[in-house]
């Protein structure tokens, strides 16, 4: 497989690292060039890393429930930075309150995210979706 550059991190003020670490390690084992930015990563840091590495995808993790606010405008900033083709994925506990999954999914899709994952999504699903979206043959 041609190595694809994937940026991963926990957005905003979210300090939860375990989920994004598991995805990062699984991506590395699957042959991706996964670059972890760690926790509490701002939108500009994701974008700068994506530019620097010529990233194919940005994977945003959020578990503290504020992802909806932290992710707002990320696609627009990507476009402004010349990253209109970068894939945007988000996963975790992406909102607080009682919003149903279909509404969460719609909100993220409306913000320009290509894939959105609920809590408990396992790495093989993300890897399969990346291979599909990046047109990587097994």
Kindly report, residue by residue over 52-81, the tens digit of the pLDDT: 999 999 999 999 989 999 999 999 999 999
Contact 53, 83 (CB under 8 A): no
Distance CA 24, CA 21 (A): 5
The CATH code of the domain that includes 24 is 3.40.50.280
Residue 1 has pLDDT above 70, yes or no: no
> Is 57 part of a structural domain of the chain?
yes
Known catalytic residues? Answer: 14, 16
> Is 138 part of a structural domain of the chain?
no
- Domain residue limits at 26: 5-133
Could you read off the pLDDT of 29-56 as tens digits, one per residue? 999 999 999 999 999 999 999 999 999 9
Distance CA 89, CA 7 (A): 10
Instruction: Read off the DSSP letter of residue 109.
Output: H
Distance CA 7, CA 98 (A): 30
Rounded to two decimals, the pTM is 0.95
Exposed, middle or buried by CB within 10 Å (0-12, 13-18, 19+), for 16?
middle
What are the Cα distances from residue 99, in Å, to 8, 9, 81?
A: 25, 24, 32
Tally of structural domains, the chain = 1
């Amino acid at each position: 497989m041609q190595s694809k550059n994937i940026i991963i991190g926990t957005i905003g003020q979210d300090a939860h690292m375990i989920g994004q670490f598991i995805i990062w390690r699984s991506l590395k084992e699957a042959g991706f060039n996964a670059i972890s930015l760690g926790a509490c990563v701002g939108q500009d840091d994701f974008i700068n890393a994506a530019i620097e590495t010529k990233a194919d995808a940005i994977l945003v993790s959020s578990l503290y429930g504020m992802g909806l606010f932290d992710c707002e405008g990320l696609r627009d900033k990507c476009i402004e930075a010349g990253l209109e083709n970068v894939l945007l994925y988000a996963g975790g506990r992406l909102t607080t309150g009682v919003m149903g999954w279909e509404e969460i999914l719609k909100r993220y899709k409306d913000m320009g995210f290509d894939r959105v994952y609920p809590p408990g999504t396992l790495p093989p699903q993300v890897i399969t979706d990346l291979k599909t979206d990046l047109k990587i043959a097994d």
